[in-house]
Amino acid sequence: MDLIILPEGKEILDVAFRNARKQASRLKSQRNKIKDAKGRSIRKIEVAGNHVSGILGTAMQQFPSVKEMHPFYLELVKATIDLEKALKALGHMSAERKIIIKVKGNAIGRIKGLEKTEAGKADAIAREFYGRLSGLVKKLDGSIRDYNEAARKLRELPKVRFDVPTAIIAGYPNTGKSTVLGRLTKSRPKVAAYPFTTQKLEIGYLIHNYLAAQLIDTPGLLDRPLEKRNQLERKGIAALRHLANLVVFVADPTMQCGFPLEKQKALLEELESEFRDRIIVVINKADAANEEEMERAKKAFAGHEIFVEGNNLESGLRERIGRIAKQAAGKEG
């Protein structure tokens, strides 16, 4: 997510007042004392007030709307930040911004109403506005910290696409999930930080018959039994449920991954409870497995849609995943 990080209140004010002085000093003299005084003071108030209200407004505008957020991202956001605290900070910023805009308008109105003999009062009103603006911004120190804490975390969320169908790659570690991902996408997958695991989310795109599908490998989430997942990781799986059109479960028949077929099958059955009828099985490393290992694997995963993968093996997996893109295109059409 593209969110700005706000400077501290003191820095916001320093920039606002510095810009105000520069802009006011550039005004051409009208050789009229009251007009010059009014013009300089109004310019100071406008520039300083607009800078502060503008930077607060940008932060508020960029922050994702909870009502409009995709369910996948809503799950991510709730698991990543204290959403209630962030929204409270934004509410405070909004309220103070409205006051700043109102105070700015009142100050400018007062200056415009000055008589010819009151030129000296223009600068006094500007100074009064500066003091009020400083007080309002200083009240925001805590809210700015809370907003920045949330914004820094949200900026690290993975950028996934919702305009293409998605296949999630699952299975125990070292079964060759990343190899399958790279083989299907024919490119080096993008790697992004993921809030539910210390590892990285890998994203690749498969293009089949001019239609795209998004493939995501989620190390640390869908590669271990339920009892070993913490609450945060379970939220991650809940988020993936909103995204997955298909789950590609990668199994290792050679058991070089360190997990026997019985455990791999048990993990698959757990995932079926999460993703229901959206799972296909890839028996990977077929080029390294012997005939007996392959037969055991096929028997273990009997009843599922199975694809046999390995180096220089064409299993039809690409076409199968491409079908979800075709189905999605058909629904859109």
Alpha carbons 232 and 144: distance in angstroms, whole number: 26
The alpha carbons of the chain give a radius of gyration, in whole angstroms, of 29
Alpha carbons 69 and 244: distance in angstroms, whole number: 17
pLDDT in tens, 215-257: 988 766 666 666 776 766 666 677 678 888 999 999 999 988 8
Which is more confidently placed, 192 or 262? 262
Q: Give me 92's structure tokens.
A: 């405070």
pLDDT in tens, 119-160: 889 999 999 999 999 999 999 999 999 999 999 999 888 788
Alpha carbons 38 and 119: distance in angstroms, whole number: 7
pLDDT in tens, 43-53: 999 999 999 99
Beta carbons within 10 angstroms of residue 332's beta carbon: 7
Give me the phi and psi of 332, to 5 degrees please: -65, -35
Q: Residue 290: pLDDT above 80?
A: yes
Angle at 292 between CA 290 and CA 295, to 5 degrees: 110
Half-sphere exposure of 301 (CA within 13 A, CB side): 29
Domains and CATH numbers, the chain: 9-154 (1.20.120.1190), 166-332 (3.40.50.300)
Contact 212, 164 (CB under 8 A): yes
Which is more confidently placed, 31 or 135? 135
168, 194, 197, 313 from 247: Cα distances, Å? 5, 18, 19, 21
Per-residue confidence (pLDDT) for residue 182, from 0 to 100: 86
User: 3-class DSSP state for residue 283?
Assistant: strand
Question: Buried b / exposed e across 203-217, counting CB within 10 Å, b at 16+?
Answer: bbbbebeebbbbbbb
Which is more confidently placed, 184 or 49? 49
pLDDT in tens, 63-109: 999 999 988 888 888 878 899 999 999 999 999 999 999 999 999 99
pLDDT in tens, 306-328: 999 888 777 899 999 999 888 87
Q: What is the pTM of this model?
A: 0.77
Per-residue confidence (pLDDT) for residue 192, from 0 to 100: 55
